[in-house]
Amino acid sequence: MSSSYYDIDAILTDAQKVPTTFELDIPALGYLDNAAGHTLKSGTRLDLPLWLSEMLAVSSTASSTTPSKSLVTLDLPPSLAPRVMNALKADPKSVDLRALAQHFYGLGERILELFEEDEVCNVLMASWRKRAAEISDHASQVGQGGRGGMASGDGVEFLRGLDEWERDLFRRCHDSGKAMRVWMGEVKKN
């Protein structure tokens, strides 16, 4: 979960789309909106990768005559919409985060850097905590007693809905549990 220049997860997180509204007419940028060669009209709403829209949003028109104005405005991505937040508040375990965004928490982290959304921050932290406990339960169940597969039917559903952070956590829990069992097995061999 480290974010560095070469971290593939950080790159993929930045590649997720965010709704962006252009505030200015931009000549020759129409190809973004499937109209190559035309001017991109102001007020156009496009889904752009986070890394691009972030740069556009923080940069402003550097002109001495007009007051400075940002190129685009960002909106909350649909995966962090109030509807999702309410669902997470109601029952964090039943939401399929992977369907919303592969890097759900990563996206949340980046968005929280740009927006001051206390509510979203609270909900994300609470659901991370709740789901982490569930993940660790599943991770310790898997492979115990040599069954290998999932023991409970509803577990499959939940595990399929994990985002990348959660998968990483699952892997860690599982690995530490496995290392422990391997050691205990070794003790028995000697």
- Find out whether 161 and 135 touch, Cβ atoms under 8 Å: no
Side-chain half-sphere CA neighbours of 95 within 13 A: 23
Work out which of 118, 145, 146, 149 binds other proteins, going by CB under 8 A.
118
Candidates 54-62, 74-82, 95-103, 161-169: pick the segment binding other proteins (CB under 8 A).
161-169
Q: Enumerate the H helices of the chain as residue ranges.
A: 8-14, 50-58, 82-90, 97-100, 104-114, 118-141, 153-160, 164-189
User: Closer to other proteins at the Cβ: 48 or 173?
Assistant: 173
Work out which of 25, 91, 119, 168 binds other proteins, going by CB under 8 A.
168
User: What tokens does 67 get?
Assistant: 């007051």
User: Closer to other proteins at the Cβ: 62 or 113?
Assistant: 113
The reply on whether position 109 binds other proteins by CB under 8 A is yes
Q: What count of other Cβ atoms lies within 10 Å of the Cβ of residue 80? A: 24
Q: How far is the CB of 132 from other proteins (least distance, A)?
A: 5
Closest CA to 164 of 101, 121, 88: 101
What residue ranges bind other proteins (CB under 8 A)?
1-2, 105, 108-109, 112-113, 116, 118, 121, 124-125, 128-130, 132-133, 136-137, 139-140, 165, 168-169, 172-173, 175-177, 179-180, 182-184, 186-188, 190
